[in-house]
Amino acid sequence: MKTNRKTATLVGSAYLFSNITFILGTIVMVEMILGSPDYLSLIPAGRAQIVLGVLLSFANGLAYVGIAVLLFPILKPRFESLALAYVGFRVVEFITQILADVSPLALLTLADNTNQTNTVQGLGALLLAGRFWAFQMLNLIFSFSALLLYYMLLRVKLIPGFISVWGLIAAALVLLNTVLGWFRPDLSEALGMVTGLPMLLNEVFLGIWLVVRGFNPSTAVIEPARHLALEA
């Protein structure tokens, strides 16, 4: 029980840490510059800001992998294959995030070219396009991993059911907006805040809940499933 309480605190702290680093690193520090029309001229002066933002984004990815690793021993007795798949999703998500963060770092070198010719601007646009599609893949993997996690949490009742249902709905919204972005990027961007906010609030709420309350005591020890059908 003490071990599970400690794990709950660590998982909750990791959720809070990951969201803080995502907001500060990706949204505030990196996108503030790369989202500007004249981003190439802003990058040299904002080099330190971009590098720090990428490092925070890297820390965010490590936190997500840490969450999966911490939850694996708890979920494994009931959902061995699904718990392992969840860890795999998180690892792939982290790798995809690294690929997305290559673009800002590459733009640092590109922006050092003071002669911003059409070629330089074209390469910059290409790097931003690569970053966009890398994040599309990242959001796709993230939504699948979240659906998988909240399904398991709902079944074993480690947390109140409403948090799991909330997470399932929020993950489905992220998935829907991600697929929409493949066909209508403009509409997906307009709906980004609406579809992404429930997931952000859910993870922050879950993080606080786990730190303050921990896992449900009555289900903190998960018994192995008697039938493989329970994993279906």
The model's pLDDT over 47-79, given as tens digits with 9 standing for 90+, comes to 999 999 999 999 999 999 999 999 999 999 999
Q: Is the pLDDT of residue 1 over 80?
A: no
Quote the mean pLDDT of the chain: 88
Q: Is the pLDDT of residue 225 over 70?
A: no
Backbone angles phi, psi at 50, to 5 degrees: -65, -45
Check residue 38 and report its DSSP letter: T
Q: Are 210 and 159 in contact (CB under 8 A)?
A: yes
pTM of the model: 0.87
180 CB-near residues (< 8 Å, 6+ apart): 187, 188, 191
Structure tokens at 131: 């970053």
Q: Are 83 and 76 in contact (CB under 8 A)?
A: yes
In angstroms, how far apart are the furthest CA atoms of the chain?
Answer: 68
User: What confidence score (pLDDT) does residue 227 get?
Assistant: 43
* Reported confidence tier of residue 116, pLDDT bands at 50, 70, 90: low
